[in-house]
Structure 1
């Protein structure tokens, strides 16, 4: 009897375990199938690309065209002819390269007369002929652009006062060319002359931006273009533009004041090694002589010049804040 009850109990235990395993397996299988179906749906949904509306496509095309246009304009403003226009010089590129060649040849001849090696004289002549005139031209263009930017808010105020007093925009621009100082007067005279010759204001401002590639000129062109297309109070818009430009100038001056210590440190660190070389060369020429006469010294000078140039370039990037 006991044996029969034990066998029956064992059969029930085995049956319950089997049902449990079978039910768990079917539930697990159903869960797995459900997860796979959900994953499949999510995968298919994730593979579906969202539909792009025509407005989004047009917006992307406009942004792409604007980026390409800005990239082309930046390349155009880096040429020698553009730099000469920014410096207020005539765009005689051939004469510029002739002067550069004369400078390079003069430096080469001077180095040969000082009994330097021909390779060193050639390198110095090439560097002086190719880099020195462009560097001077860049300084002249930067100074003229800086003076133009400093006086530009006053020009906007003149236009605002002229419009409020009833003058047309063209006459207000002509007043700027007659009453202000250079380089602001010359650029606005060219602008009014172009408009007077029949060119539209947009193309005249594009030419002005090529001569003076500053954000202020771009803002001015955008404000005039929007006002021509949509209308509105031009005096108020230009007044707001003048306020924004003055705020940018104040922010730039604040950044310059806060970064003055870093700029001074960079100048000191960059000028210290050449100053030490000149000082030791003047005090003990025999000590520094092998650096300029021995080939190993030439290699050391070249390596030192390379690393110094790299360090100065890095420091310039770190302290050059753009607003």
Structure 2
């Protein structure tokens, strides 16, 4: 028993000595203490990068602007025009392959040709979603600005604090304002550009309130609180209007998608039934007339359900 206890004690002393004498593992891993290095990536990544570089040079040489950088930034896409075009082409090829397997060559062409239009619609959808999220965050942004001003900070320091405390896209837009003003641009111009870029009438009021306060003075925190109250009331009314118009919008989407769905279903179930539509001149005329009438109907329905207030 005594020998066992001595052996345990010696083992504990040995383990303690080894733990003290041997060098400790650094708290920060070695790869994090080294400069950041981008790995070579996979073969597919290198091929996509090379293709994007080639396409970027071609587009720059011919001065082709399919998608502006500002449009991609407004949509929240951190990529160049060439990267988005390659992504769009890849999606079109995948859609064409699916159409070829499901319904044949005509369905493949039908899925491939609208790729530029679909890419444009995706950018507009993402930009609209980002702008709507920015508008929804304006109330919290104004509270942060008013709180910073009451704490004794300047308007630029309050905007900087709002950028740090907010989430995307408000944080990105506030940081952009701070960056532009630090480079020497006037604050009013930066605020107005943000309001134009985000298409926010409410932010125009904020920019005007800040500019008027800089010219005539006063308690900007109270002014921002009043603007915040007005914006919240307008948001509540806007929510009621959206809920009332939701049924009309959903009906419009169904009516616009119904012809394409029926044509696709017929081409899958019975390809020969729809073949004269794409091979006979009368069918081509019917397709053109259908496109014109659907465009007019879509614009008409959009005018009815798009309420302005």
TM-score interval (norm. to shorter): 0.5 to 0.7
Q: Which residue does the alignment assign to 2:115? A: 128
- Conserved in 2, the CA contact under 8 Å of 1:107 and 1:124? no
1:109 positional shift? 8.5
Residue number in structure 2 paired with 1:146 = 132
Give 1:135 shift. 1.4
Name 1:44's counterpart in structure 2: none
Q: Write the mapping of 1:146-185 to structure 2, written as runs, cut at 5 A.
A: 146-185=132-171
1:83 to 60, 63, 71: 71
Q: Is the 8 A contact 1:104 1:126 kept in 2?
A: no
Pairing 1:1-323 to 2, within 5 Å after superposition? 80-90=68-78, 92-93=80-81, 96=84, 102=89, 115=105, 127-129=114-116, 131-323=117-309
Q: Deviations over 1:86-128 (max 9, x none)?
A: 123358446556766x469959997999555xxx96x986643
Change (3 A) 1:274 1:108: closer
Structure 2 unmatched runs, 5+:
1-66
Q: Shift of residue 314 of structure 1?
A: 1.4
Secondary structure (helix, strand or coil) at the match of 1:198 reads: coil
Q: Counterpart of 1:53?
A: none
The match for 1:57 is none
Q: Which runs of 5+ in 1 are unaligned?
A: 1-78
The 8 Å contact of residues 92 and 111 in structure 2, kept in 1 or not, is answered as no
- The 8 Å contact of residues 180 and 190 in structure 2, kept in 1 or not, is answered as yes
Report how far residue 138 of structure 1 moved.
1.0
State the TM-score, normalized to the length of structure 2. Answer: 0.67
Distance in 1, matches of 2:215 and 2:191, equals 16
Change (3 A) 1:201 1:253: same
Give me the CA root mean square deviation.
3.2
The residue aligned with 1:58 is none
> Which one has a larger percent helix, Structure 1 or Structure 2?
1
The number of aligned residues is 240
Contact 2:252 2:301 in 1 (8 A): yes
Contact (CA 8 Å) 2:163, 2:171: kept in 1 or not?
yes
C-alpha distance in structure 2 between counterparts of 1:302 and 1:251, whole Å: 41
